[in-house]
Amino acid sequence: MTTLANTFTMRSLTLEDVEKVFALTSASQLHWLGRVDMSLDEVRLLLSKPGIDLAKDSLIILSADNIAVGYALMDHTQHARLYVRCTTHPAYLEDGIDDFLLEKAEEWGQQQIPLAEPDVRVDLRGFTMNENTALRKAFARHNFQPIRTFWRMGIELLTQPVAPRWPENIRIVTATPDLFHAIYEADEDIFKDHWGFIHQPYERWAYWSVEREDFDPSLWYIAIDGNEIAGIALCGIEKGSDGWVHDLGIRRAWRRQGLALSLLYHVFTEFYQRDIHQVYLSVDAASLTGATRLYERAGMHVVQQSTQYEKELRGGKELGTRILAE
């Protein structure tokens, strides 16, 4: 059991800690990456997420001068797929904070086990950019195993992108409120073929998408065949200059017709016309649907790698997708 110096104080997070957590996250990202990837609004969204009880599901560690030097935020799906997000200030990497946070997360995880269905597997997962060697070592010390690599892929659009070649009967529309629930259903249908997928209710999906203040429906491109959604490309602009493809996918009946590549080229063209020349997305490096090959074919390349870690707390039936079903 890790013991912290008595100069530190600990308590649960509150929504008033948003700026403290943002400052801590920014310091960490600047140290490991040389840039800040997370905005203040994203931290606020994270701490305000429905289903999280900050009094029970979080911890912040403060220095003697009331600076946040570490925090952990825990979340779960059905009390079986458990998550911990933790960050330590780079000036305090030798103080055992990473270890302390992971121990507290595991204590929280043990409390979730009786709340999960009796036959399901319960595991605690964490995620870190590969540059953060301190947290990776802490995961290893606490017997977390690396289970998946994720890539951030990017492309610089220096010239007019390739024009899409649409399959027959496909038309592209942008999102409108009357389509939101159908887009959600298509998103769930598409991503059930992705490793680790667990169904989420519409309310959780909407919180992270259409209810965000920075949501721009003109950047959501929906491929329609007749009255059915065949594919989606749900995009946004971050930091004013970076284009992001948050979700790109095709329903099974329309795969292997070139629709995914055409949607991606369409996205590139739309960003280029908006004077957005850097475009990124995140992808499972071992994608069950071969998404990485598609992105490479479109000219994208890996710009950063992250790893997901897991510690099994109880054996049982796995909730998430493991293999591509027939």
Residue 276 to residues 38, 232, 239, 240: CA-CA distances in angstroms?
Answer: 19, 20, 11, 9
* DSSP letter for each residue of 68-124: EEEEEEEEEETTTEEEEEEEE-GGGTTTTHHHHHHHHHHHHHHHHGGGS-TTB-EEE
Domains of the chain, earliest start first: 9-143 (3.40.630.30), 153-305 (3.40.630.30)
Residue type, 34: G
pLDDT digits (tens, 9 = 90+) for 136-148: 999 999 999 999 9
Residue keyed to tokens 């992108």: 161
Distance, CA of 82 to CA of 11 (rounded, Å): 21
Return d(Cα 36, Cα 125) in angstroms, integer.
Answer: 23
110, β-bridge pairs: none
Strands 278-284 and 242-250: parallel
Whether the per-residue pLDDT at 325 is higher than 70: the answer is: no
DSSP per residue, 273-323? HTT--EEEEEEETT-TT-HHHHHHHTT-EEEEEEEEEEEEEE-SB--S--S
Q: Is the pLDDT of residue 326 over 60?
A: no
**CA-CA distance, 285 to 296, in Å (whole number)?**
12
Q: Name the pairing type of β-strands 228-238 and 81-88.
A: unpaired
User: How is 195-215 classified by DSSP, letter by letter?
Assistant: TT-----HHHHHHTTTTSTT-
pLDDT at 45: 95
| pLDDT > 90? residue 324 | no
What would the pLDDT profile of 257-292 be if each residue is shown by its tens digit?
999 999 999 999 999 999 999 999 999 999 988 899
Q: What is the pLDDT of residue 323?
A: 66
* 306 touches 272 (CB < 8 A): no
Cα gap 307→280, rounded to integer Å: 18
- What's the CA gap between 286 and 275, in Å, rounded? 32
Return d(Cα 38, Cα 15) in angstroms, integer.
Answer: 17
Instruction: Give the global pTM.
Output: 0.93
Residue 140: the pLDDT is 98
The 3-state DSSP class for residue 166 equals coil
Chain centroid to Cα 281, Å, comes to 11
